[in-house]
Structure 1
Amino acid sequence: MPAAAIQAVIQNCAAEVFQPIIFREYTMKKIQTIAALSALVLAGAAQAASFNNTAGLAGITSYTLETFDNAGVPDDTLAGNLFAGLSFGPNIYISNSYIGSFANFSGSSLTNFYPCCTAITSFSFNSQVKAAAFAFVTNQGTSTFYAKLNGNVVESFSAPTNTQGNVNFYGFSGIIFDSIEIHSGGINNAYALDNLQVAAVPEAETWGMMLAGLGALGFMARRRQSQK
């Protein structure tokens, strides 16, 4: 998402925040959205990182790991809301069929082929995150990955995907987002996904970014006023 567009969203939100009547009714979600967007402006959209590597977030940032191994449900059960902190869209299923079949896969995984195969799938985080990565395989092809915040694309990239080798972690860091959309490539668009790594935005960091962002907005407003 271009920095200018992010800044426009922040300014529109801030215009509401600084109206006293509206401020009293302002929701925490909108405040957090301003904080996240402010962070993107201050950090610079050019610093956003998408990657395809052998280890995901290892060496980039600390993270929590979801292996999808503890659902306790049969094969081909919809993933839905079975895993804490995550919500999976339709056509994403739990599978035990690929244990040990691919590099960086272990235990149960998620697939999009029961029935085969939905080319566009997505999942969301219950709170904003600053980085995420996952092991991912398809038949030989090219897949595209989108990081989104409140339904808007923040960053995206396309990369070769296949079942060979161990360069099969795909992800994002250096941005704030709350969902990932996958456009899978290869024959039939079939994929398997495992070992999701997630780095959440700490609450204190969220408020710090909000204050920094609102401070930047105040500076810009004073600067525009002085130029008139």
Structure 2
Amino acid sequence: MNLKTLGAAALLACFGTLGTAQAASYTGDYVLSFGGTTFAQFSITTDGLANADGFETITDLWGTVGGTSITGLLAPGNTGGNDNLFRLDGTHLTFGGVSFIAGSDGVSLDALNWNLFYSSNSRSYVLSAEDSSFFSRGQLSVSPVSPVPEPESYAMLLAGLGALGFVSMRRQSQRQVHDDAI
């Protein structure tokens, strides 16, 4: 196998691994009504792997609800029905039982199965949940954020390029020794 073919194969292999199994990130803003108006701003990170129902598992959640900082995500099953799932497709967004802690007092705010149905033409949204006290209509902005490649990806790329350079240098020196012998 010549060096050009080997280099092309290594380059294709590197590019083939760039998009695999990376986390997906989303950010959003929403005006909520819990008997009064509350502004929520959030960012989530998912595992990027959709299950059979199209949900991704939320691995991190941060932001504010009514001016109180969200300090962490509760483990699935800690409160009734929370699974910490997220799905965003062409017609709706669904939070499947997201539970998180807001503030230093450790208060759990359980958002049971938020469903958002929207029309991209009218920009009107309805967000509802199983809990009947939670119903709101307003503007939501949720947008996917490009995943950042993990440091291990770059380390593997550099190691592969170094190995390729070593093999190339070794072959060239062997060829030089062979040419000198003739």
Q: Same fold (TM over 0.5)?
A: no
Q: Which bracket does the TM-score occupy, shorter chain normalised?
A: under 0.3
Give the TM-score of the pair, scaled to structure 2: 0.25
* TM-score normalised according to structure 1 size: 0.21
Q: Does 1 or 2 have the higher relative contact order (CA < 8 Å, sep 6+)?
A: 1
Q: Which has the larger radius of gyration?
A: 2
The structure in which a higher percent of residues are helix is 1
